[in-house]
Amino acid sequence: MTYREAKNLSVFDDTCPTEDEQFSKEIHGYEWSEQYQGVILGAFYWGYTLLHIPGAILSAEYGGKYTLSIGILSTAILTLLTPLTIQYGGAGWLIALRVLEGFGEGTTFPALNTLLSAWIPLKERAKAAAFVYGGAQEFLCYKDPESHPFISDKEKSYLKKELNQLSRDKAIKKTPWLKICTSVPMIALVVAQLGHSFGYFTVVTDLPKYMADVLKFKIKENGLYSTLPYVAMWIMSIIFGTISDWMLTKKWISLTNSRKLFTTFSFTVPGVFLVVASFSGCDRMQAVLMFTVAMGFMGAYYSGMKANNLDLSPNFAGAIMAITNGIGAIIGIINPYIIGLITPNRTISEWRNVFYISCGFLTFTNIVYIIWGSAEKQPWDTPEEIRSIENVETEMNRVENETEENNKT
């Protein structure tokens, strides 16, 4: 059968043709069903979800640097063992390995949020979040300004003033879990995280499968074109972060509206372009372009609801990230399996239904966030014990100022 005949036939069976016979010969894989592949892909998020709360506790106790470093290092080492695990242990051992990889990676975002809350002033959060969450400078980080060996006293004073840090007893830093979990802005943030996770994991977990099963990309082409959306997301996240901080500095927009605006960009535009990608049919380059645009706009997420984790409570930023990202990671468990059920025949129309669902879920959760989301620091950020300390310090400063003025007169 010629390529032209295969292309004509594909119109009727809703699949794309392969360009040559070598495509089917270059892969020597395993006979795993779509549903079983979903279980394997989702296994990572079993461990990832479970380690979020412990990651927040460890970060608060020992600082984010060591928690982050150990977690990432363990995941990297375990990932190197993947080929050997498949060869000698099979699918069962691969699932167990991916759970362990998730354990290591589960500490990442709580640790990062703990670090950001100790380092980043309010008006620089969006841009800084984009740089940090994009993954850089791991070996240059320290848990807070006081522990950094090279930072100047002037910069320490600036950060201390902007962040309003207080030296507290560890007993006072007890996390108010109930107040956090029943806070309306917090619930809205969790709902938004669920929406983002569904759209994001649809691309992260299944884009290579779509390119291989539907668009019939070869392995090398798949590897190349699957990376383009993430490059676009990284670049655009920095651009959106810079724009967000610039708008806040100019006071053109409130912090809450800024978070909602960039969250909306990161939800609605990707949702639409995911659907458009499915209507590209077998035009591979057009489909890749649509996926790249979708993920590029998803980069606005870091300037929106991702930075919002820090806004609600700088003191408990790690705990908040553990809750939002941990619950969102549940989507990573069920998403691959659901997609496997929806796409048993790997056809374009089946995948189009997946993208319709993603677009609808992104839109719904974005509306919830717009209505009930907030970037205001919550009352439970400062426990009663610390408020008393702050009141005493404020009163002492007032008395000192009055005394100085009286002495001058």
The residue type found at 83 is: P
Q: Indicate the angle between helix axes 108-119 and 52-62, nearest 10 degrees.
A: 40
Q: What is the pLDDT of residue 122?
A: 60
Go through the domains of the chain in sequence order and give each one's CATH number: 122-139+175-389 (1.20.1250.20)
| pTM of structure | 0.70
Q: What is the pLDDT of residue 11?
A: 43
Instruction: Put residue 215 in one of left, alpha, beta given phi > 0 → left and psi -120 to 50 → alpha.
Output: alpha
Q: What is the pLDDT of residue 289?
A: 93
Measured CA to CA in angstroms, residue 400 lies from 52, 93, 225 at distances of 45, 67, 64
Tens of pLDDT, residues 355-399: 999 999 999 999 999 999 999 989 888 766 555 555 555 555 665
Q: What is the pLDDT of residue 256?
A: 94
Cβ(260)–Cβ(303) below 8 Å? no
Q: What is the pLDDT of residue 166?
A: 42
> Nearest to residue 294, comparing CAs of 258, 266, 330?
266
Q: Look at 94-98, 143-147, 287-291 and tell me which has the smallest mean pLDDT.
A: 143-147
Tens of pLDDT, residues 280-330: 888 889 999 999 999 999 999 988 988 898 889 888 877 888 889 888 888
CA separation for the pair 62, 78 (Å, rounded): 24
Q: How confident is the model at residue 169 (pLDDT cuts 50, 70, 90)?
A: very low
